[in-house]
Amino acid sequence: MHLRTMRTARKGSVEMPAFVRQLVKETEKRVSSFFKVGRGGAAEGEQHGEGEKEEIIPSPYLDRPVLDKLTEEGCARWGLTYALGSMQGWRANMEDFHNCVPQLGGELAEWSFFAVFDGHAGSMVAQYCSQHLLGHILATGGVGLEDNPEKVKGSITDGFLQTDKHLHSVARREGWERGGTTVVSTLISPYYIYFANCGDSRAMLCRSGQVCFSTEDHKPYSPLEKERIESAGGSVSLQRINGSLAVSRALGDFSYKGVENRPPSQQMVSPEPEVFAVERSPTDEFLVLACDGVWDTISNEELCAFIRNRLEVCTDLRDVCTQVIDLCLYKGSLDNISIILLCFPGAPQLSAEALHQEAELEDLLESKVAEIYNELSASGEDPDLLSVLTVLASSIIPGLPPGGGIQSKRNCIISAYYQQRETHKPAVPNALGSS
């Protein structure tokens, strides 16, 4: 049976969601800036002076992030378990969608399909593609029990192109010409893992504790992508197509696909995915599909190490996804953040040693926070969260999660800080006194 109860080393005397909500109300912007120092300081839209607050164009960013998370989990009968985590974050709108099908029907009952769709200039294209891409792939007829890699890869490519073709007529009717979406997906058969990437979302496979495979991002400044863009009459400036679009492959974006006498794959923006087949191995551990809101802040190797560590202290995959999202937020991600985590039977399991180390780490962090709080109080200051975090960041903290660093333990730090505030609250005198 699949474990679904969260088990971590957290002692849990404070209810975490309440502190997160309180943090948003009181100190979110300052704490976020603290954690983003290593990535160039404040977020876009936060660097204007007093006289520059009014903007003609609405900012794509919010004053504070939306931290509510959508989570989903499930399993396939052949041993796959999965979870999804998704959050709007600093973006003014949520434009990410996903598709999780752990078991396809009929003769493909041992096959699975998962995809992340990262929309831009609106959410409708991403939503449409999340509902229709798989159907177009299967309609090609090349996905079957024979599991021929070349046939399956061809079907996936044709499915993307057919989705884009059908989308074009819908987009003209609905007025979605400006909208588009990147896609990263995986189709898992009993023998192969098929990856398809169109844009700058990314897939990563961890095998035997290491990154075994990852897709390449499609950016306009990549040499082959730039060559195609310029051949189609476009240009690349500010690392964007015509100074505007930051991805070179996507479904939709039909205003970049109107050059006559050129096939879809040779337009400025190509709907053709790169498709790969990787033979499955008993040492496969887990697979990640995520939008660029994740990859902008963390490398493949860092994320592989962090997830492996989290799987040893937590059996709820939704919580692992949530921790990845929070880590990316506090590392400075300003985008929507979506991740699908797929665990194979060979994934790391709960470890008593890792749980013990996690508990020791959280005890150490709590004692450090208390020490810093008391020192600041003794010097006559009223310690705020940012002050405590600033001092803590300069401390040597052994045992932090690999790939995560101090940002990955911010919930524990915030909890410890508010415990200290409660402890140091002045006693309220009895107003009536004693008679």
Per-residue confidence in pLDDT tens, the chain, 435 aa = 333 333 333 333 333 344 444 444 444 444 444 444 443 333 333 444 444 445 467 889 999 999 999 999 999 989 999 999 999 999 999 999 999 999 998 999 999 999 999 999 999 999 999 999 999 999 999 999 999 999 999 999 999 999 999 999 999 998 887 899 999 999 999 999 999 999 999 999 999 999 999 999 999 999 999 999 999 999 999 999 999 999 999 999 999 999 999 999 999 999 999 999 999 999 999 999 999 999 999 999 999 999 999 999 999 999 999 999 999 999 999 999 999 999 999 999 999 999 999 999 999 999 999 999 999 999 988 899 999 999 998 999 999 999 999 999 999 999 999 999 998 887 766 655 554
Residue 396 lies in a domain: no
pLDDT of residue 293: 97
The answer to the question of residue 357 being in a domain is: no
Task: Name which of 56, 59, 179 is nearest 126 in CA terms.
Answer: 179
Residue 261 inside a domain? The answer is: yes
Q: List, in sequence order, every residue forming a beta bridge with 287; answer none if it has no partner.
A: 205, 342
Residue 92 falls inside a structural domain = yes
Collapse the DSSP code of 280 into the 3-class scheme (helix H, G, I; strand E, B; otherwise coil) and give the result: coil
Residue with the two structure tokens 């954690």: 35
Instruction: Of 198, 247, 252, give the one whose Cα is nearest residue 226.
Output: 247
What is the C-alpha separation between 116 and 82, in angstroms, rounded? 13
182 found inside a domain = yes
Amino acid letter at 368? K
Per the structure, the count of domains in the chain is 1
CATH number at 78 reads 3.60.40.10
Q: Is residue 373 included in any domain, yes or no?
A: no
Range of the domain at 206: 59-350
Whether 269 maps to a domain, the answer reads yes
Contacts 24+ apart (CB under 8 A), 8-14: 8/313, 8/314, 8/319, 8/355, 8/358, 9/313, 9/355, 9/356, 9/357, 9/358, 9/359, 9/361, 9/362, 10/358, 10/362, 10/412, 11/359, 11/362, 13/419, 14/415, 14/418, 14/419
The verdict on residue 298 lying in a domain is yes
